[in-house]
A and B are shown apart, each in its own frame.
Chain A
Amino acid sequence: MKNIIVCVKVVPKTEDVSFDPVTKTLDRSKAENQINEADKNAIEYALVLKEKYGGNVILLSMGPMFFEPFLKIGIAMGADDAILLSDRAFAGADSYPTALTLASAIKKIGDFDLILCGEESSDAGLGQVPSQVAEFLDLPQALFVSSVEIEGNKIKARRSVKGGYEIVELPLPSVISIELGINQPRFPDFKRKRWADKEFKIKVWNMKDLGLNENIVGLRGSYTFVNRFIETEPPKRLRRYIEGSPEEQAEKLYEVIKEIIE
Chain B
Amino acid sequence: MIDAWVYIEHDSGEIEDVSLEIVGRLNEIKASLPLRITGFSFGRDPGEIPRKAISQGVEHFIFLRNDLFSFYDTQSYVNGIEGIVRERRPDIILLGATYQGRDLAGRLAARLKTGLAANAITLNIDEKGLLYTGVPGYGGRFIAEIVNMKARPQISTVRQGIFRKLPQDNSRSGEVENIEVKFGDFSPRLRVVERVRKDVKDITKSERVVIIGNGAGNNLKPIEDFARLIGADIGVTRPVADRGLAPRDIQVGSTGVSLNSKLVIIFGSSGSNHFVSGIERCKNVISIDVDRNSNIFNYSDYCVVADMFTILPYLNRRFGGQ
Q: Measured between alpha carbons, how far is A260 from B263 in the docked complex, in Å?
A: 7
Is B145 in contact with A254, judged by CB distance below 8 angstroms? no
Is B303 in contact with A163, judged by CB distance below 8 angstroms? no
Is B115 in contact with A223, judged by CB distance below 8 angstroms? yes
Say if the beta carbon of A23 comes within 8 Å of chain B: no
Q: Measured between alpha carbons, how far is A249 from B312 in the docked complex, in Å?
A: 10
CB contact list, B89-116 vs A, under 8 A: 98-100, 102-107, 109-111, 113-116
Q: Which of B72, B197, B274, B304 contacts A253 (CB 8 A)?
A: B304
Is A238 in contact with B115, judged by CB distance below 8 angstroms? no
Say if the beta carbon of B34 comes within 8 Å of chain A: no
Say if the beta carbon of B11 comes within 8 Å of chain A: yes
CB contact list, A145-197 vs B, under 8 A: 156, 159-171, 174, 180-182
Q: What sequence of 0s and 1s flags, for each residue 191-229 of chain A, a beta carbon within 8 Å of any chain B beta carbon?
A: 000000000000000000000000000000011111111
Residues of A within 8 Å of B150, CB to CB, are 223
Q: Measured between alpha carbons, how far is A131 from B157 in the docked complex, in Å?
A: 14
Closest to A248 in B: B314
Residues of B within 8 Å of A110, CB to CB, are none
Q: Of the listed stretches A53-61, A65-73, A92-100, name the one at the interface; the rest are far from the partner chain.
A: A92-100
Say if the beta carbon of B179 comes within 8 Å of chain A: no
Is B145 in contact with A228, judged by CB distance below 8 angstroms? yes
Q: Which of A129, A143, A167 contacts B103 (CB 8 A)?
A: A143
Is A168 in contact with B190, judged by CB distance below 8 angstroms? yes
Q: Which of A129, A226, A227 contacts B106 (CB 8 A)?
A: A129
Is A169 in contact with B99, judged by CB distance below 8 angstroms? no
Q: Of the listed stretches A2-10, A82-90, A133-141, name the one at the interface; the rest are far from the partner chain.
A: A133-141
Indicate whether A238 sits within 8 Å of B277 (C-beta atoms), given known contacts A124-B135, A224-B117. no
Closest Cβ of chain B to A177, distance in Å, is 9
Closest Cβ of chain B to A14, distance in Å, is 5
Say if the beta carbon of A48 comes within 8 Å of chain B: no
Is A247 in contact with B107, judged by CB distance below 8 angstroms? no
Closest to A180 in B: B255
Q: Measured between alpha carbons, how far is A131 from B110 in the docked complex, in Å?
A: 8
Residues of A within 8 Å of B276, CB to CB, are 234
Is A250 in contact with B315, judged by CB distance below 8 angstroms? yes
Q: Measured between alpha carbons, how far is A181 from B242 in the docked complex, in Å?
A: 6
Is B197 in contact with A246, judged by CB distance below 8 angstroms? no
Is A126 in contact with B142, judged by CB distance below 8 angstroms? no
Q: Which of B107, B239, B255, B306 contacts A125 (CB 8 A)?
A: B255
Interface size on B (CB < 8 Å)?
A: 100
Q: Of the listed stretches B59-67, B164-172, B217-225, B292-300, name the one at the interface; the rest are far from the partner chain.
A: B292-300
Closest to A235 in B: B280
CB contact list, B192-217 vs A, under 8 A: 192-200, 208
Closest to B191 in A: A169
Say if the beta carbon of B286 comes within 8 Å of chain A: yes
Say if the beta carbon of A230 comes within 8 Å of chain B: yes
Q: Measured between alpha carbons, how far is A167 from B248 in the docked complex, in Å?
A: 17
CB contact list, B114-146 vs A, under 8 A: 114-119, 132, 134-146
Say if the beta carbon of B302 comes within 8 Å of chain A: yes
Say if the beta carbon of B55 comes within 8 Å of chain A: no
Say if the beta carbon of A30 comes within 8 Å of chain B: no
Residues of A within 8 Å of B116, CB to CB, are 94-96, 126, 128, 223-224
Say if the beta carbon of B185 comes within 8 Å of chain A: no
Is B315 in contact with A131, judged by CB distance below 8 angstroms? no
Closest Cβ of chain B to A18, distance in Å, is 9
Q: Measured between alpha carbons, how far is A123 from B298 in the docked complex, in Å?
A: 22
Is A226 in contact with B99, judged by CB distance below 8 angstroms? no
Indicate whether A128 sits within 8 Å of B118 (C-beta atoms), given known contacts A225-B146, A232-B280, A241-B303. yes
Say if the beta carbon of B247 comes within 8 Å of chain A: yes
Q: Measured between alpha carbons, how far is A251 from B147 in the docked complex, in Å?
A: 51
Say if the beta carbon of A74 comes within 8 Å of chain B: no
Closest Cβ of chain B to A236, distance in Å, is 9
Residues of A within 8 Å of B191, CB to CB, are 168-170
Indicate whether A140 sits within 8 Å of B75 (C-beta atoms), given known contacts A126-B135, A171-B189. yes
Residues of B within 8 Å of A160, CB to CB, are 99, 248
Q: Measured between alpha carbons, how far is A14 from B255 in the docked complex, in Å?
A: 14
Is A224 in contact with B103, judged by CB distance below 8 angstroms? no
Is B305 in contact with A224, judged by CB distance below 8 angstroms? no
Closest Cβ of chain B to A257, distance in Å, is 6
Residues of B within 8 Å of A124, CB to CB, are 135, 137, 144
Is A126 in contact with B115, judged by CB distance below 8 angstroms? no
Closest to B156 in A: A224
- Known A15-B273, A126-B135, A167-B194; further 20 A-B contacts with Cβ < 8 A: A14-B274, A17-B138, A95-B106, A123-B138, A131-B74, A131-B110, A140-B74, A166-B195, A222-B115, A223-B116, A225-B147, A232-B140, A232-B142, A232-B277, A235-B281, A249-B304, A250-B315, A253-B311, A254-B318, A257-B286
> Which 4 pairs between the two chains have the least Cβ-Cβ distance?
A223-B115, A131-B106, A164-B197, A250-B314
